[in-house]
Amino acid sequence: MAFFLRYLAAIVAILAVGLLLERFARPGLAFWWMATAFGLQSLLSAAHLAQLNHWTALPRNRELPAGMGPWRGTFDRLARFVRQEADARAEMLGELERIHAAVDRLPDGLVVLDRFDHVVWSNVAAQELHGIFGARRPIHHFIRQPEFHAMLASGEAAQPIRLTLPGRPGRIYELRLQGAQRDQRLLITRDITEHARLDAMRSDFVANVSHEIRTPVTVIAGFAETLLTLDLDERERRTYLESILRQSSTMQRLVEDLLTLSTLEASIDRPPDDETVDVHEMLRALVDEAKVLSNGRHAFELELLGPRRVDGIAAELESAARNLLTNAIRYTPDGGRISVSWSVHDGEGWISVRDTGIGIAPEHLPRIAERFYRVDRGRSRETGGTGLGLAITKRIMLRHQGSLHVASELGKGSTFSLRLPAARLRADDAGAT
């Protein structure tokens, strides 16, 4: 409006000057005045329009030239508007780039599919996982498994599927289609190897526990039934009752070990550092206890070279060392020797239990501390084993930032060792016995 008024005012001014000239000067002069003034004004407008026309044809980031006369304000405002729009665009592009970079860093593969299941866009993970390249190619060129084709065809009701992908041996992936409408769907590929492994471990564990419990329960039920149905003399009755008792204590030990293991696994926090354990006293007591258990069948040795005290949880370290000692007794034939030692190597504390027992073949060693893993199931059961002792011991050592080590030779014997980190040894009385 202001522009129009300014333009009008200029016309009125030219006309007014023309009238004055007509009246007070020569009539011809008024004509020349008006012709020149209107001509100049049209020229000015034409020049600005030409500038504007030229500017619109230029690339977007060119500056708009400054205007003159009534055009100045208009050109200034237009230039400001164009600058603001360019700033907003740059900001949006930056934002988009950041989002792209973030999506590309995602470990999950993301693919946007159009209504014909052609790839519209994919992130780096998807390109690497499925070998996606080029523009608008059908997704089934890259993922050829029949299960995937079935999922694509099943539309909205598509259930996630689990697949292995070529070139990724040993890994398991879950592929999921998301997006209600068919014109745009998102395909998500996620590595679920760890998840699947935990799932398998969990069901293995449940199967193992059920199996371990079923055996004594079956035996107990069988003996109880015999006791009820048969007319037995006192000696036979006693034998059956003793078997029942033996099986119930196996079950009791199993339940106790399971509870210990689950408590250890639940407490992921570091154990408190302020409790100190007298390793010398602990090992002496454990060896005395072992002698009773062995009942003279084995010879024992105890060597205490390390510091008296360490930081840790007494009950746990005792249980870890006891597991090694009872195993040594159980897997060493009569007349064997069991040597217990406590020493320091490279600043770290080592509790070692060496036996001259049956030993373990090398192929079993990597799995020996797994839950329910036994070399000889029969022997473990006969001697009252639950298959959980070493798993518990390993957990305890991990909680103390230490570890469990095994060295063994079949037929010759084994050495099981507990390593405690240097930080847990009490330096003040190092070497004292």
Contact between 404 and ligand ADP by CB under 6 A: the answer reads: no
Does the protein bind ligand ADP through residue 375 (CB under 6 A)? yes
Task: Confirm or reject binding of residue 261 to ligand ADP (CB under 6 A).
Answer: no
User: Which of 141, 374, 419, 426 touches ligand ADP by CB under 6 A?
Assistant: 374
* Backbone dihedral angles phi then psi of residue 403, each to the nearest 5 degrees: -160, 165
Q: Judged by CB, which is closer to ligand ADP: 109, or 359?
A: 359
Residue 212 binding ligand ADP, by CB under 6 A: no
Query: Closest-CB residue for ligand ADP?
Result: 385
> Three-state SS for 346?
coil
Which CB atom, from 189 or from 380, has the smaller least distance to ligand ADP?
Answer: 380
Size of the chain, expressed as the number of residues it contains: 433
Least CB distance from residue 371 to ligand ADP, whole Å? 8
Is the separation of the CB atoms in 164 and 173 below 8 Å?
Answer: yes
Q: What DSSP state is assigned to residue 138?
A: B
Q: Which of 142, 331, 342, 350 binds ligand ADP (CB under 6 A)?
A: 331
For 293, the token pair is 């258990």
Verify binding: residue 386, ligand ADP, rule CB under 6 A.
yes
Q: What is the dihedral of CA 225, 227, 230, 235, to 10 degrees?
A: 150
How many residues bind ligand ADP (CB under 6 A)? The answer is 22
Query: Using the rule CB under 6 A, is 340 a contact of ligand ADP?
Result: no
Q: Distances in Å between the alpha carbon of 195 and those of 160, 174, 357? A: 15, 10, 39
Single out the residue of 355, 400, 424, 425 in contact with ligand ADP (rule: CB under 6 A). 355
CB of 375 to ligand ADP, least distance (A): 3
Q: Provide the minimum distance between the beta carbon of 422 and ligand ADP in the complex, in angstroms, as a whole number.
A: 27
Question: Could you say which residues in the range 136-195 bind ligand ADP, by CB under 6 A?
Answer: none
CB of 282 to ligand ADP, least distance (A): 19
Return the axis-axis angle of helices 71-105 and 27-56, rounded to nearest 10°. Answer: 0
Per-residue tokens: 397:
């050592």
DSSP at 186: E
Tell me whether residue 311 or residue 355 sits nearer to ligand ADP (CB atom).
355
What is the spatial distance between Cα 41 and Cα 47, in angstroms, rounded to a whole number? 10
Considering the rule CB under 6 A, would residue 319 count as an interface residue with ligand ADP?
no
Among residues 309, 414, 418, 425, the one that binds ligand ADP under rule CB under 6 A? 414
**351, 387, 400, 418: which one binds ligand ADP (CB under 6 A):** 387
**From CA 160, how far away is CA 174, in angstroms rounded?**
7
Establish if 418 lies at the interface with ligand ADP (CB under 6 A): no
Residue carrying the six token digits 């090694």 = 324
Q: Answer for the pair 328, 357: CB distance below 8 angstroms, yes or no.
A: yes
Closest approach, Cβ 328 to ligand ADP, in A, equals: 5
Contact 398, 313 (CB under 8 A): no
Residue 51 or 215 with smaller CB distance to ligand ADP = 215
Written as six digits, the tokens of 264 are: 């250890």
With beta carbons less than 8 A apart as the criterion, state whether 283 and 340 touch. yes
Q: Which residues bind ligand ADP (CB under 6 A)?
A: 323, 327-328, 331, 355, 357-360, 368, 374-376, 380, 385-391, 414
